């Protein structure tokens, strides 16, 4: 008695028939097709999903940095005699939900015009943002926010300066 493997090598037509039968059986079989499609599409979908999350984090950070600069400027506008240190501390307090160690710089400029005793104030915040996903740039991206305001000294005998309770950063 001979095995079928020996018969197929000796008869090329039989080998061809066996291959055709196997091909017809596999050709109509759709089992596992979903797993193959998922394996091909999952990396694309996950990359897009996590990319959207990273862009959302960057947009949130941009909003927080800009908000902190604007809120510090607003506070300085109603408090003419505020110091640079107080503005910087207020700006840091308004940076909610971001890593304080990544603050690159908070620059406050407030020159006084000697002619009419007015003052402009500019608050600039610079923050080093780092992406978490490995497929995005590994370097930090600098996110900055700037705000400027015009300060007019209160007239003599005016009401006292506004306190920090009117500000939205928890002060």
Are 124 and 101 in contact, with CB atoms under 8 Å apart? no
- Examine residue 161 and state whether it is found in any structural domain, yes or no: no
Average the pLDDT over 8-37 and give the result. Answer: 77
Average the pLDDT over 104-129 and give the result. Answer: 83
Residue 25: the pLDDT is 76
With tokens 């000697």, the residue in question is: 114
CB atoms within 10 A of CB 18: 13
pLDDT of 76 above 60? yes
The CA distances from residue 1 to 6, 8, 134, in Å, are: 11, 14, 62
- Examine residue 141 and state whether it is found in any structural domain, yes or no: yes
Domain count for the chain: 1
**Greater confidence, 137 or 128?**
128
Separation of alpha carbons 125 and 45, rounded Å: 35
Q: Which of 6-15, 51-60, 121-130, 148-157 has the lowest mean pLDDT?
A: 6-15
Separation of alpha carbons 63 and 128, rounded Å: 14
Banded model confidence at residue 40, pLDDT cuts 50, 70, 90: very high
Separation of alpha carbons 65 and 145, rounded Å: 5
**Greater confidence, 13 or 46?**
46
* Tokens describing residue 32: 């596992």
- Examine residue 10 and state whether it is found in any structural domain, yes or no: no
- Examine residue 18 and state whether it is found in any structural domain, yes or no: no
- Examine residue 6 and state whether it is found in any structural domain, yes or no: no
Banded model confidence at residue 9, pLDDT cuts 50, 70, 90: low
Burial bucket for residue 138 (CB in 10 Å: 0-12, 13-18, 19+): exposed
pLDDT of 166 above 50? no
- Examine residue 3 and state whether it is found in any structural domain, yes or no: no
Separation of alpha carbons 171 and 160, rounded Å: 18
Largest CA distance in the chain: 120
- Examine residue 80 and state whether it is found in any structural domain, yes or no: yes
**Whole-structure pTM value:** 0.69
Please write the tens of the pLDDT for every residue from 54-69: 999 999 999 999 999 9
**Structural domain boundaries enclosing 67:** 27-156
pLDDT of 132 above 90? no
- Examine residue 70 and state whether it is found in any structural domain, yes or no: yes
Question: What rounded mean pLDDT belongs to the chain?
Answer: 80
């Amino acid at each position: 008695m001979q095995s079928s493997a020996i018969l197929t090598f000796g008869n090329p037509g039989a080998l061809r028939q066996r291959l055709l039968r196997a091909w017809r059986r596999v050709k109509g079989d759709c089992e596992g097709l979903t797993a193959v499609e998922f394996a091909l599409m999952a990396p694309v979908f996950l990359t897009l999903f996590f990319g959207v999350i990273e862009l959302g984090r960057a947009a949130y950070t941009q909003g927080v940095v800009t908000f902190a600069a604007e809120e510090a400027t607003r506070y300085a506008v109603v408090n003419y005699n505020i110091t640079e240190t107080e503005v910087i501390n207020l700006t840091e307090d308004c940076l909610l939900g971001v890593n304080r160690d990544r603050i690159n710089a908070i620059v406050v400029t407030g020159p006084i015009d000697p002619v009419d005793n007015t003052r402009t104030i500019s608050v600039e915040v610079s923050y080093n943002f780092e992406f978490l996903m490995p497929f995005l740039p590994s370097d930090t991206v600098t996110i900055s926010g700037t705000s400027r305001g015009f300060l007019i000294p209160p007239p003599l005998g005016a009401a006292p300066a506004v306190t920090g309770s009117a500000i939205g950063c928890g002060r």
